[in-house]
Structures are given as C-alpha cells and as structure tokens.
C-alpha cells in the first residue's frame, strides 16, 4: 500500500512539471497576447480535461484490478507488480519518443480565442497520462478508498503544478532546458514504476 501511494505521488509530481503538458499553452498564450491570469485559466481548464480523461481510464482499470484480485489469488502479489515493472521497462526503452500532444501552428493561426482554447482542451483530454494508469490498476486491489486517494492526489498535484509552472515560466523565472527534461522524463518515470513493482513483490 505504501509503495502504491509513494509511487503515485512521485509520478504525479513528475507529471506536473513535464513541459509538454503546459508549455504549449504558454507558447500560444504569448503569441495571442494573453495576460498571466488568462493563461493560467486556460492552463487550469486544459489540465482539468487531461486529469478527467486519465481518471476515467484509471477507475476502469481499478475496477479490473478489484475484480481480478477477488478471482485470481496471485494477482496482487505477482501479476500486478509484474505489470508495473513491464510498463516501467517500456517507458525506459521508449524514453526517446516524445509522448505529448502538439498543435500545428497553421491549424490555429487566425483562429478565434474560443476555438484555440477548445483545441487545447480537446488535445489534453485525448492525451491521458498513461504512466499513472498502472497505479490505478494496483490501487483497485486495495478497494475504492485507495482508488479515490490516488485520483484525488493525482488530480490536485497535476493541475496545481501546471498552473504554478505556467506562472513562473510566464514571468521568465524558469531558465531550464525543457527539451532535455522532457526527453529524460520517460527514464525517470520508468525507473519509478520498476522500483515500485519490485517493492510490491516484498510488501
């Protein structure tokens, strides 16, 4: 249980700072001359859409985990941790692939503010966080309370983090190599999943 919560917390924190989740909003906001308040509001709404789709899939996976745990004796002890490790290995192997949405400039050029915001929200809704979904599956084996805890923690951390990073970046307070950070985020995420899976074998 502790490993599930800790792993979910780390993934949520990493997820909140991945630039592909908020940098497009900042870039579009700057180009469209949105002020900080408006950029933060759009970030909040698009982040909410992203979190919503992730949690919907997560709850469905949690229900599967609950059902499997009740019918397969070794699911919690062997199968679920193995799934975490396999997914972790996948993200480590695929770390060079950028898992993010993007909007082509020519498709939003000259569009109204409403259409641009709608495009951002739809794009975020259709790109759920796959990294956290394994934890929803594992949380399902512990019951509804664990599913609710993971969903709330993930949602609050992700949206809050996105808005905070937008504020800092908008004011020019962040001077980081975003491409390098995003490129390496898959490795970090994968290692967290693998470690959580290994720990789960022994707890």
Mean pLDDT of the residues in the chain: 78
Residue 88 located in a structural domain: no
Q: pLDDT over 70 for what percent of the chain?
A: 75
Residue 35 located in a structural domain: yes
- Ranked by mean pLDDT, the top range of 23-32, 51-60, 91-100 is 51-60
Residue 187 located in a structural domain: no
Question: 59 falls in which pLDDT band (50, 70, 90)?
Answer: very high
Residue 199 located in a structural domain: no
- Ranked by mean pLDDT, the top range of 27-31, 60-64, 103-107 is 60-64
Residue 189 located in a structural domain: no
Q: With residue 194 as reference, give the H or E element that holds it.
A: helix 178-202
Which of the residue ranges 38-47, 49-58, 166-175 would you say has the lowest mean pLDDT? 166-175
Contact 189, 11 (CB under 8 A): yes
Of 68 and 150, the structure prediction assigns the larger pLDDT to 150
- Residues 155, 157, 161, 163, Cα dihedral to 10°: 40
Residue 203 located in a structural domain: no
Token pair for 188: 């970090």
Does pLDDT of 38 surpass 90?
A: yes
Q: With residue 67 as reference, give the H or E element that holds it.
A: helix 36-71
| Total domains in the fold of the chain | 1
Contact 7, 91 (CB under 8 A): no
Residue 48 located in a structural domain: yes
Q: Would you state the pLDDT for residue 41?
A: 94
Q: Would you state the pLDDT for residue 76?
A: 63
Residue 80 located in a structural domain: no
19: left (phi over 0), alpha (psi -120 to 50) or beta: alpha
Note the pLDDT tens digit of each residue in 77-129. 677 677 777 877 776 776 555 444 455 444 555 677 888 888 889 888 988 88
Report yes or no on whether pTM surpasses 0.85: no
Section 69-82 average pLDDT: 69
**Which residues span the domain enclosing 155?**
2-72+101-176
Cα 4 to its chain centre, rounded Å, is: 16
Note the pLDDT tens digit of each residue in 79-89. 767 777 787 77
Of 192 and 203, the structure prediction assigns the larger pLDDT to 192
């Amino acid at each position: 249980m502790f490993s599930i919560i800790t792993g979910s917390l780390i993934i949520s924190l990493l997820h909140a700072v991945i630039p592909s989740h908020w940098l497009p909003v900042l870039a579009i906001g700057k180009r469209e001359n949105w002020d900080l308040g408006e950029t933060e509001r759009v970030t909040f709404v698009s982040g909410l859409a992203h979190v919503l789709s992730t949690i919907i899939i997560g709850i469905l996976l949690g229900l599967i985990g609950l059902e499997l745990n009740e019918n397969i004796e070794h699911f919690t002890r062997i199968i679920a941790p193995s799934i975490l490790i396999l997914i972790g290995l996948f993200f480590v192997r695929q770390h060079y692939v950028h898992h993010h949405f993007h909007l082509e400039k020519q498709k939003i050029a000259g569009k109204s503010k409403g259409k641009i915001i709608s495009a951002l929200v739809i794009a975020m809704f259709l790109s759920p966080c796959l990294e956290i979904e394994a934890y929803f599956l594992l949380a399902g084996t512990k019951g509804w309370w664990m599913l609710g805890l993971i969903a709330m923690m993930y949602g609050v951390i992700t949206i809050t983090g996105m808005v905070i990073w937008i504020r800092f970046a908008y004011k020019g307070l962040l001077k980081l190599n975003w491409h390098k950070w995003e490129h390496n985020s898959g490795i970090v995420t994968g290692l967290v999943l693998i470690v959580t899976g290994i720990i789960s074998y022994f707890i």
